[in-house]
């Protein structure tokens, strides 16, 4: 389902890929380059019609609905603008899902001073693809498995699995300290924005329940390689839980030990050592269990073996 007309009224039939979507979100996807404020203006004014009737932004479309879109002059900038180019190795792809190996230091989407991220780059390079959405997110500093949906039914299926606990997500991290004991870390997490406008997360009894299961994999002279399974998917969950347990992730500039990070940086550890190693889910179409894996970066093992960093 694609919007083509700019200077004349367009009438589109809702397909299976858009079934159940809110009309404001559908218009945002169809009218690339049109300001959000203008999309809501044409909705409020009644210029957008669904089956010849006025609609509210929250109206959900169904297969077979006829959507009337007024003439809208779209900006050409989203199609021609230069976005940062990233190497995005493909780990898995079929007609429903796409999994990439996201590099550290690359945002999953633009915003907050970032001109463009993974999703914008993929949409630009795959301009013939009608639907492409993030299934979940990874922090900019985190590398590893990132899953995207290539149809709305696939997206809805995967989101439902995440809500129901039907997916499995494992990470590996290098933490400071050598006396780590396997544990289930259960601390509620609360998000807030500090005076500098920075989004942060803290352990707080008023926050949302969060559970991370962590076990050690390899112990070095000063650090430990651990595996963390996310049982809940809160913002910065692994980073905050490990820091709260006094095992900060090496290179974590927001929750880690700044003094130690500087020492490791001098030894050429230039990133946060957190990597999404696997994502397991039931395929949206075949229902078979699928596990996508990404190899642990070499610098993780090299950092664990380092012996020149003092406490």
Q: Is residue 40 within a helix (H) or strand (E), and if so which, with residue range?
A: helix 36-44
Annotation says 139 is catalytic:
yes
* Nearest Cα residue to 227 out of 296, 128, 158: 296
Angle between helices 23-30 and 36-44 (to 10 degrees): 130
* Rounded-to-integer distance, Cα 21 and Cα 62, Å: 8
* Nearest Cα residue to 282 out of 161, 107, 112: 161
From the list 139, 179, 182, 204, the catalytic residue is 139
* Rounded-to-integer distance, Cα 137 and Cα 215, Å: 23
For 302, the token pair is: 């090299």
DSSP 74-98: --SHHHH---------EEEE-SSEE
* Nearest Cα residue to 183 out of 156, 163, 219, 213: 213
* Nearest Cα residue to 167 out of 218, 109, 106, 97: 97
Q: Which residues are catalytic?
A: 139
């Amino acid at each position: 389902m694609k919007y083509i007309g700019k200077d004349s009224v367009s009438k589109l039939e809702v397909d299976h890929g858009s079934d159940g979507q809110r009309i404001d979100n559908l218009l945002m996807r169809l009218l690339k380059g049109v300001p959000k404020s203008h999309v809501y203006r044409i909705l409020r004014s009644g210029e957008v019609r669904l089956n010849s009737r006025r609609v509210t932004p929250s109206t959900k479309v169904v297969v077979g609905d006829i959507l009337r879109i007024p003439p809208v002059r779209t900006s050409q900038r989203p199609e021609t603008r230069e976005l940062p180019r990233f190497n995005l190795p493909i780990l898995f792809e079929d007609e429903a899902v796409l999994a990439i190996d996201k590099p550290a230091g690359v945002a999953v989407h633009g915003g907050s001073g970032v001109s463009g991220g993974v999703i914008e780059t993929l949409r630009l390079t795959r301009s013939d693809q009608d639907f492409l959405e993030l299934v979940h997110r990874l922090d900019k500093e985190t590398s590893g498995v990132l899953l995207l949906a290539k149809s709305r039914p696939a997206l809805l299926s995967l989101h439902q699995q995440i809500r129901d606990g039907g997916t499995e997500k494992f990470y590996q991290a290098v933490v400071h300290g050598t006396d780590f004991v396997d544990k289930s870390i259960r601390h509620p997490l609360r998000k807030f924005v500090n005076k500098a406008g920075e989004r942060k997360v803290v352990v707080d009894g008023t926050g949302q329940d969060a559970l991370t299961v962590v076990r050690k994999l390899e112990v070095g002279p000063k650090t430990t390689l651990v595996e963390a399974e996310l049982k809940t998917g809160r913002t910065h969950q692994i980073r905050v839980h490990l820091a709260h347990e006094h095992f900060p992730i090496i290179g974590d500039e927001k929750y880690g030990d700044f003094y130690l990070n500087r020492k490791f940086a001098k030894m050429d550890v230039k990133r946060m050592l957190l990597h999404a190693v696997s994502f397991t889910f039931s395929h949206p179409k075949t229902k078979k269990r699928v596990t996508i894996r990404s190899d642990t970066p070499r610098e993780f093992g090299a950092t664990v073996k380092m012996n020149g960093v003092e406490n």
